A and B are shown apart, each in its own frame.
Chain A
Amino acid sequence: MKEAKKKKKKSETSIGVSRNGSISTVGVLSVYLINGLFLAVGFWVARNRFLVDLVSDPSLTLFLLWSIEFPVVVIIYSFLRKDPEKCSCSKAVGRSILGLISGAFMNALGAIALGAPIGAQYLPKTIHWSLLMSVFTFVPATVVFGASLTDWHRVFASMKPSGNIEHMILVPAYGAIIGGWFGAWPMPLDWERPWQEWPICVCYGAIGGYIVGQIVSLCLMLFLRKHKSLKVA
């Protein structure tokens, strides 16, 4: 809680979040905006401070992206975590790191099964890519749900999210995965563009899918709310 107060600068977040862990659509939008902002910051830092981009040095750029995005995601979503009374902030941070690593492992395994190149020169790229994917997919869920298997199962396997928070975890995560899946399509083409290399276009696909997922989840929330209010009326 102390930490939460320290990071009071995101005042709008605290406005949007009520105590019982639900969040208004405006709050969701602002969370998304902050996410997107720091993603852009990541790109900006890579381009202007380190003079690299995804094409020229994918490993370093990906490293910058996920290392800037990761704390932001952890901080934002730790406001939204379930039963904040039982679970201290340090615990939330600890489990988010655990989630980051295990999520990266799962993503890397999936990518290799789908045909990501394996080999010494691709290893750092694959690791950084899967860490970024993990920030998009696993980290928010670990921060919010912790090790609660039933929540994980309900949200990710059965796809029955309840409430805005679960929507904003589920939809962008699936968006990132599906975007990455589509992003792999141009890889075999013989255009001989540098961005066709692993994992550049998959990254673009994943980021694009993540953003589309955010937009879709916002629309879903608006639609569901209207639906509900209609029902109520």
Chain B
Amino acid sequence: METYLKRNNKKWIPLAFLLIHSVAILIFTRGFLLTRTELPFHSTCSDASLSPCLSNSDHNHNQKQPKCWTKPVVDRVVIIVLDALRIDFLAPSAFFPEAKPWMDKLTVLQNLAFGNESSAKIFKAFADPPTTSLQRLKGLTTGGLPTFVDVGNSFGAPAIVEDNFINQLVLNGKRLVMMGDDTWTQLFPNQFHKSYPFPSFNVKDLDTVDNGCIEHLFPTLYKDDWDVLIAHFLGVDHAGHIFGVDSMPMINKLEQYNKVLEKVVDILESQAGPGGLHENTMVIVMGDHGQTLNGDHGGGTAEEVETTMFAMSTKRHTPSVPPEFDTSSCKQDPDGKKICISSIEQLDFAATLSALLGISFPFGSIGHVNPELYALSSSSLNLDNIELGNSGTQPAVNEWMKNYVNVLCVNAWQVKRYIDVYSNSSVVGFSSDDMSRISNLYSAAEHHWSNSIKHTLMDNDGNEDSTNTSALKAQIAAYLSFFSSVAELARSKWTEFNLTLMITGFVMLVISLILQSLAIFHGDKPFAVDSGLSTSAAFSLFIVLIRACSFLSNSYILEEGKVANFLLATTGLIKLRYSLMSKTMRKEAFIFLAMVSVLRVSIDIGLTKQAATSQFMSSSPTWMLGLAPDHPALTYASEIAPIVSVAVLICVLYRGIAKTHSEGIWKYVTVGSMLNYFLIALLWASESKIFVLDGFLQVIGGRNIIPQTVYAIGLLQLFLLASAHMFCAGKDKNWVIRAVALVSACSSPVILLSGKQGSMLALAYLLAGYCIMRLEGVERSTKSDGQNKFSKLDPLCVVQWSLLSVCMFFASGHWCAFDGLRYGAAFVGFDEFVLIRQAILLTIETFGFSIILSVFGLPLLIPIISQTPQAHGEKRHMLFQMYMLYGVISATTVTATILCVTIHRRHLMVWGLFAPKFVFDVVGLILTDVLICLASVYYL
């Protein structure tokens, strides 16, 4: 009875840890991985009739062009993006405590902004983290706050599927020209009328993108075949990354830009006369984010989020904004002149530009039309028919406010619509408190609108009085408070980490780690400290801790495969020393080291693949074959070797079942895997050119038949194993045969999905695992204390097994990034896309070797010797301990990763490197826990 209880107990413990880990990770993720659902809706011109605002017809029938949501106020827009433009690159040095060498270099813009007769302005622009170019461009164009995980993102491709400013321009028949950073063409593959993209990934190249931009910019400015021009310069960003802000290349870059911008302004002004190409053009020079003095960006520090924007309209007039809505801060410049810069949020960029160009606002935009930027052009709007030169006076201000309040009305309606739709359709929407607060603000503003302002505006009789003015101001203030509370809510939801949740999750994981370590000794007799064992345990602890600490540095995460391999080889050398000492198993120790060397070559190949796409790694191939990649001998070898290794695997399995005197279901399952291996070999042989099996695939009916058969046989095997476990439980206590059956059943789909390298890796894995098993306890046998060998667990061999599985993950060509997933594997055997099925296949491919096979194969590490029945109970206990230890090792690394992302949550690479690593680790840990549960049900 007691043993029965104990046995059940052991099955529940892994489940308990699965639950604890899931809860802890869920809590942490809620605090760290901010998610947002992308909505597939788009705004159209006709939507505006649903709004309570003034409709098109009654206000504007005398215009030739039908207006969309708002009246267009500029005809063309030139957007020049200078990547990583700090605020102090553009704003005069008078605004900063001390003048630095890199300040006051863009003098042409400063002169324009602070000149007497110009409609130009410098803004301090606030970006929202993450301050990386791609996320910022997404934010600027959609008017939203992109997060790390925008749910609904298309598989792999970064193209923006949400409604955005560029998309709206295309829908409204505007023609776009783009030049510079090729991120734009990745985000908007089809939207540009003309594009001149240049590669942006080479950080050390300061000039290619900029020169390409300059080359195309000036000719394009003279053409009339576009409405919106986007030129994205990268030099400042790259100079910052390589040399830092306080460096000569940076200053040279800024001086170069000054010349370019001077020429741009000259061209525009030369064409700005009545009837000219640029009669009513707006020029915007802006940064997408700032940078620190070292040139880093990505996080949320003031230096990174404070960027700048310069806006100028070619139509000259003095902007008139009521002082209540003026955000400018002013200083005295050295000459004693008063100079002012205003401020703007990048969030408002999409809405403001949409209003200026008179197109419908992007559906998901939560920004509002910035009064000062809007006023730069729009104050001229209705003044043409009033007296020119009278702007800035009370009637002009009133007229502008009337126009602006109507724009805000549409804007508020659009934001409210988005918030409502979002909270209805998203899985994790806003809380009802927040929603009701926002609804109240909105309904108050709207009530005010429909009751009073609308009529005032409708009258349009031109007699302004002070009550009117104050009513308009109150209305604008009501809208602005609505907008600011929406933005605040959105920020808290989408850009701010919840540190409390993160720490709670972390602490829970640490507690579970302690509990799990205690569980290793669960039911153990007061364990005698054996000197051989304790050195081995201390060494295991040392290795695990080194690996955990290595996650605190981004460099070690990038080269995680190499680190794991280094540690694995170290354990191999230690084992070699022990085996030399005891003069046993020397062959195994050497074979193990040889297998580690094979794996490291494979890891190196994987790293070069990773370096090709990673933005953080320089690709330096550390090894080279003397042969050309298409050498016939090499192709021949690469075709033959996988098939030979499958044949070897079949032989190994055959010998495995021939040796053990076992009958029944386990044997049939193993035979099934042999059949599967054979099918895989057949598939590869028929796909390659050197065997004359071309017609074979047609005969059997397509290349999908064999993979599907393999999956079917695999499922059948698992089903048989499960039913055998249920119905003949307790009959066959021999795990070796059961483990062989289970592992071989799982391995065939894994090998198939991994492609041709799969079989070779499986062979290397098998050999290395065999050596680990043989070397288990080699340091103990030297002591030869005559005790029962099963009484104690050798932690080092479990550590080795776990390191080996990590190495397998990297050796099979994976790395912890989303572009490291092999999407092609999801379509082995299937042509059409079904989310669940393909996701399962992708998971099997990604974690097949590193988690599925290694967890199920863990019992194989127990030496086969001594199958006596009295040893069985102890062996079962040992197996339980091994599973717990394996779980502790996995959980330790994940805890270290979590600690690392908590520390580095504002690091430059948090979204590029740490967050993907976190996602992979967490998924891996949950999968490990689930599989440990299944395995302990199956084996214990």
- Point out residues on A near B: beta carbons under 8 Å: 109-110, 112-115, 117-120, 122, 153, 156-158, 181, 184, 188-190
A189–B581 CB distance below 8 A? no
Measured CB to CB, the nearest residue on chain A to B562 is: A115
With contacts A113-B596, A153-B581, A181-B570 taken as known, whether A118 is within 8 angstroms of B565 at the C-beta atoms is: no
B566–A117 CB distance below 8 A? no
CA–CA, A119 and B626, complex, Å? 9
Measured CB to CB, the nearest residue on chain A to B580 is: A157
With contacts A188-B556, A189-B553 taken as known, whether A119 is within 8 angstroms of B562 at the C-beta atoms is: no
With contacts A113-B572, A190-B554 taken as known, whether A157 is within 8 angstroms of B624 at the C-beta atoms is: no
Measured CB to CB, the nearest residue on chain B to A188 is: B559
A-B contacts, 22 listed (Cβ < 8 Å): A109-B597, A112-B597, A113-B573, A114-B565, A114-B566, A114-B569, A114-B570, A115-B566, A115-B600, A117-B604, A118-B601, A118-B622, A119-B624, A120-B624, A122-B622, A153-B580, A153-B583, A157-B581, A181-B570, A184-B566, A188-B556, A190-B558
Q: How many A-B residue pairs have CB under 8 A?
A: 61
B622–A190 CB distance below 8 A? no
B624–A113 CB distance below 8 A? no
Q: Return the contact of A119 from the options B554, B559, B565, B623 (Cβ within 8 A).
A: B623
CA–CA, A189 and B617, complex, Å? 11
**Which of A109, A114, A119, A190 is the most central at the interface, judged by chain B CB atoms within 10 Å of its CB?**
A114
Q: Return the contact of B622 from the options A117, A158, A184 (Cβ within 8 A).
A: A117
CA–CA, A109 and B566, complex, Å? 13
CA–CA, A104 and B382, complex, Å? 87
Note all chain B residues with C-beta closer than 8 A to A119.
Answer: 621-624
Q: How large is the interface on B (under 10, 10 to 19, 20 to 34, 35 or more residues)?
A: 20 to 34
Measured CB to CB, the nearest residue on chain B to A114 is: B569
CA–CA, A120 and B573, complex, Å? 26
A118–B623 CB distance below 8 A? yes
- Other contacts beyond A114-B566, A118-B601: 10, CB < 8 A: A110-B573, A112-B597, A114-B570, A117-B604, A117-B622, A117-B623, A118-B623, A157-B577, A181-B570, A188-B563
CA–CA, A89 and B622, complex, Å? 43
Leading 4 A-B pairs by shortest Cβ distance: A117-B622, A157-B581, A119-B623, A188-B559
B623–A188 CB distance below 8 A? no
CA–CA, A112 and B569, complex, Å? 9
- Contact string against A for B residues 613-632, beta-carbon threshold 8 Å, 1 for contact and 0 otherwise: 00010000111101000000
B202 within 8 A of A: no
CA–CA, A120 and B625, complex, Å? 9
Q: Return the contact of A190 from the options B555, B569, B600, B624 (Cβ within 8 A).
A: B555
Note all chain B residues with C-beta closer than 8 A to A188.
Answer: 555-556, 558-559, 562-563
- Point out residues on B near A: beta carbons under 8 Å: 553-556, 558-559, 562-563, 565-566, 569-570, 572-573, 577, 580-581, 583, 593-594, 596-597, 600-601, 604, 616, 621-624, 626
Chain A nearest CB from B696 CB (Å) reads 39
Measured CB to CB, the nearest residue on chain B to A111 is: B569
**Which of A117, A156, A157 is the most central at the interface, judged by chain B CB atoms within 10 Å of its CB?**
A157
Q: Return the contact of B569 from the options A115, A118, A189 (Cβ within 8 A).
A: A115
Chain A nearest CB from B566 CB (Å) reads 5
Measured CB to CB, the nearest residue on chain A to B577 is: A157
B593–A109 CB distance below 8 A? yes
CA–CA, A184 and B563, complex, Å? 10
Measured CB to CB, the nearest residue on chain B to A110 is: B573
Chain A nearest CB from B869 CB (Å) reads 37
Measured CB to CB, the nearest residue on chain B to A120 is: B624
CA–CA, A153 and B554, complex, Å? 42
Note all chain B residues with C-beta closer than 8 A to A190.
Answer: 554-555, 558, 616
Chain A nearest CB from B238 CB (Å) reads 16
B570–A158 CB distance below 8 A? no
A113–B562 CB distance below 8 A? no
Note all chain B residues with C-beta closer than 8 A to A109.
Answer: 593, 597
Chain B nearest CB from A141 CB (Å) reads 14
Note all chain B residues with C-beta closer than 8 A to A117.
Answer: 604, 622-623
Note all chain B residues with C-beta closer than 8 A to A115.
Answer: 562, 565-566, 569, 600
CA–CA, A119 and B622, complex, Å? 6
Note all chain B residues with C-beta closer than 8 A to A153.
Answer: 580-581, 583
Note all chain B residues with C-beta closer than 8 A to A114.
Answer: 565-566, 569-570, 573
Note all chain A residues with C-beta closer than 8 A to B570.
Answer: 114, 181
Note all chain A residues with C-beta closer than 8 A to B555.
Answer: 188-190
Chain B nearest CB from A101 CB (Å) reads 19
Measured CB to CB, the nearest residue on chain A to B557 is: A188
CA–CA, A109 and B565, complex, Å? 14
Chain A nearest CB from B244 CB (Å) reads 13
Note all chain A residues with C-beta closer than 8 A to B601.
Answer: 118
Chain B nearest CB from A198 CB (Å) reads 8
Chain A nearest CB from B821 CB (Å) reads 23
Measured CB to CB, the nearest residue on chain A to B617 is: A190
CA–CA, A110 and B571, complex, Å? 12
CA–CA, A115 and B594, complex, Å? 12
Chain A nearest CB from B896 CB (Å) reads 16
CA–CA, A163 and B20, complex, Å? 56
Note all chain A residues with C-beta closer than 8 A to B594.
Answer: 113
Q: Return the contact of B600 from the options A110, A113, A120 (Cβ within 8 A).
A: A113
CA–CA, A13 and B556, complex, Å? 47
Measured CB to CB, the nearest residue on chain A to B599 is: A113
CA–CA, A3 and B1, complex, Å? 81
Chain B nearest CB from A163 CB (Å) reads 20
Chain A nearest CB from B772 CB (Å) reads 15
Measured CB to CB, the nearest residue on chain A to B595 is: A113
Note all chain A residues with C-beta closer than 8 A to B580.
Answer: 153, 156-157
Measured CB to CB, the nearest residue on chain B to A181 is: B570
CA–CA, A193 and B221, complex, Å? 45
Chain B nearest CB from A96 CB (Å) reads 22
CA–CA, A110 and B570, complex, Å? 9
Note all chain B residues with C-beta closer than 8 A to A120.
Answer: 624, 626
Chain B nearest CB from A76 CB (Å) reads 27
Chain A nearest CB from B449 CB (Å) reads 56
Chain A nearest CB from B575 CB (Å) reads 12
Note all chain A residues with C-beta closer than 8 A to B569.
Answer: 110, 113-115
Chain A nearest CB from B81 CB (Å) reads 28
Measured CB to CB, the nearest residue on chain B to A154 is: B581
**Which of B566, B570, B616 is the most central at the interface, judged by chain A CB atoms within 10 Å of its CB?**
B566
CA–CA, A87 and B265, complex, Å? 91
Note all chain B residues with C-beta closer than 8 A to A184.
Answer: 566
CA–CA, A110 and B553, complex, Å? 26
Chain B nearest CB from A166 CB (Å) reads 16
